[in-house]
Amino acid sequence: MPEAIAARGLSFTYRGSARPALDDVALSVAAGEIIGLLGPSGAGKSTLQRVLTGLLTGYRGSAQVLGHEIADWGRGVYERIGVAFETPVSFGRL
């Protein structure tokens, strides 16, 4: 069975930036495994999430979700994944 998430040699540089936000990242997450991304501001956590959810394109290396390269997946990926970014969610009325 393929890994749920796999990144190998993953690099991404924002346009106009002198340094890459991700530089040769390797990651392997097995099916059913739960992970958290921890690190200081600017470490690349949100960038990694955005690449793995298809929100950022133009990366180098490999980023696969459920055995498929995320760049080739298309919008169908959103029916198979869920992600929680660090932006807080508040409810005005419960």
For residue range 52-76, what is the model confidence (pLDDT) as tens digits? 988 899 999 999 998 889 988 877 7
Pairwise CA distance, residues 59 & 6, whole Å: 14
Give the angle 8-24-3 at the CA atoms, nearest 5°.
Answer: 20
Collapsing DSSP to helix, strand or coil, 12 comes out as strand
Q: How many domains does the chain have?
A: 1
Q: Two tokens at 12?
A: 């991404």
Is the pTM value of this prediction over 0.85?
Answer: no
Residue in the structure block whose two tokens are 């099916």: 31
Residue 27 domain flag = yes
User: For residues 7 and 60, is the Cβ–Cβ distance under 8 A?
Assistant: no
Residue 47 domain flag = yes
Residue 24 domain flag = yes
